[in-house]
């Protein structure tokens, strides 16, 4: 798929062949969602809160209406207030993490890759490909786009590819249309936005990425493999696919809550990212090419593909 430049002439080198944009044939792609900022990119953080609140509310209503002792001896105010305060504080912390700490973390990551010269048009006039795995509404890609525009200008903008399972109902935040509109609002030209849907028709297709080997300059995975709802063994295969499509000297920034492969006590102690790093180390990668770091309360792995690593792991 050849994409025309948005703001400056590029070299004659054609981009890699990639699947067509699903929004191109979807009439709902013109829908501009005004509430996409409310999308829950980390549902595991919020789901238990709402479920517990719902259960607590239903049980309180049922026992309060039907149990004669409770009706005769109502619960004191402070007994209910403590539970209410704990839930409110929990939701406040979750909101701070979701809307302040996570965006700040990814802004720091894009400044890091910009300093390393990945998006420097003077060094390489090819239009780069950036893939966000499990992108949901594309908030992380939009943050990258805004930072690139602010620091390097429109001429350095890559082609942003969003890859997700996505909902088939377009008018919720988790949809290709939402990914498109978020990137447009961030200032990315329409021709530099591509949305690809995960092929869930078979076990094999769920873990195979539809991109050529050594084709992607930067891979972003913000809980991406968890967002695709893959099993542990499938996550290991999908991770190997990410390494396959990453170009030599390309970067992958990965944050993950679930490990790969079989579960053991080492993963519980060292964290899920260690299982992905072990895959690379066992294949002979230098340890310094897959490092795990902390920043702003987030644990992430930075992968730099060695020049001689080849297409597979």
Alpha carbon distance 288, 309 (integer Å): 14
The per-residue pLDDT for 161 is 97
What average pLDDT is seen over the chain? 78
Residue 87 lies inside a defined structural domain of this protein: no
Domain range for 213: 22-38+96-304
58: CB partners within 8 A, 6+ apart = none
pLDDT digits (tens, 9 = 90+) for 17-55: 888 998 887 655 554 443 444 344 445 555 676 677 667
Residue 72 lies inside a defined structural domain of this protein: no
Q: How many domains does the chain have?
A: 1
The per-residue pLDDT for 47 is 64
Residue 150 lies inside a defined structural domain of this protein: yes
250: CB partners within 8 A, 6+ apart = 216, 217, 218, 219, 304, 305
Residue 309 lies inside a defined structural domain of this protein: no
Token pair 């542990």 is found at: 232
What is the length of the chain? 313
Residue 273 lies inside a defined structural domain of this protein: yes
The per-residue pLDDT for 69 is 58
Residue 172 DSSP code = S
The per-residue pLDDT for 63 is 61
Residue 70 lies inside a defined structural domain of this protein: no
Alpha carbon distance 235, 152 (integer Å): 34
Query: 111: domain CATH number?
Result: 3.40.50.150
> Which segment of 124-133, 149-158, 176-185 scores lowest on mean pLDDT?
149-158
* Residue 11, pLDDT above cutoff 50: no
Alpha carbon distance 175, 183 (integer Å): 13
> Can you list the positions of beta strands (E) in 142-255?
159-164, 193-197, 216-222, 246-255
Contact 29, 180 (CB under 8 A): yes
pLDDT digits (tens, 9 = 90+) for 161-209: 999 988 776 556 678 888 998 899 999 999 999 999 999 888 888 889 9
pTM: 0.78
């Amino acid at each position: 798929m050849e994409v025309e430049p948005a703001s400056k002439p590029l070299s004659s080198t054609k981009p890699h062949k990639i699947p067509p944009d699903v929004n191109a044939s979807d009439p709902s792609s013109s829908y501009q969602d005004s509430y996409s900022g409310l999308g829950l990119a980390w549902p595991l953080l919020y789901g238990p809160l709402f479920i517990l609140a719902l259960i607590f509310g239903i049980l309180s209503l049922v026992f309060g209406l039907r149990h004669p002792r409770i009706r005769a001896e109502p619960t004191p105010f402070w007994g209910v207030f403590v539970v209410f305060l704990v839930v409110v504080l929990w939701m406040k912390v979750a909101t701070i993490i979701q809307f302040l700490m996570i965006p700040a973390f990814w802004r720091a990551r894009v400044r890091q890759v910009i300093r390393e010269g990945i998006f420097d048009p003077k060094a390489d006039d090819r239009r780069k490909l950036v893939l966000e795995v499990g992108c949901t509404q594309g908030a992380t890609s939009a943050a990258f786009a805004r930072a690139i525009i602010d620091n390097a200008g429109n001429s350095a903008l890559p082609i942003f590819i969003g890859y997700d399972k996505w909902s088939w109902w377009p008018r919720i935040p988790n949809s290709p249309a939402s990914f498109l509109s978020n990137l447009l609002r961030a200032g990315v030209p329409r021709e530099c936005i591509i949305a690809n849907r995960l092929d869930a028709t078979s076990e094999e297709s769920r873990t195979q990425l539809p991109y050529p080997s050594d084709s992607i300059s930067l891979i972003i995975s913000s809980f991406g493999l968890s967002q695709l709802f893959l099993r542990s063994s499938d996550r290991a295969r999908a991770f190997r696919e990410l390494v396959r499509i990453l170009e030599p000297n390309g970067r992958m920034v990965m944050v993950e809550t679930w490990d790969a492969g079989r579960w053991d006590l080492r993963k519980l102690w060292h964290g899920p990212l260690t299982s992905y790093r072990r895959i690379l180390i066992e294949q002979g990668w230098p340890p310094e090419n897959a490092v795990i770091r902390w920043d702003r309360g987030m644990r992430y792995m930075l992968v730099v593909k060695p020049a001689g690593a080849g297409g597979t792991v």
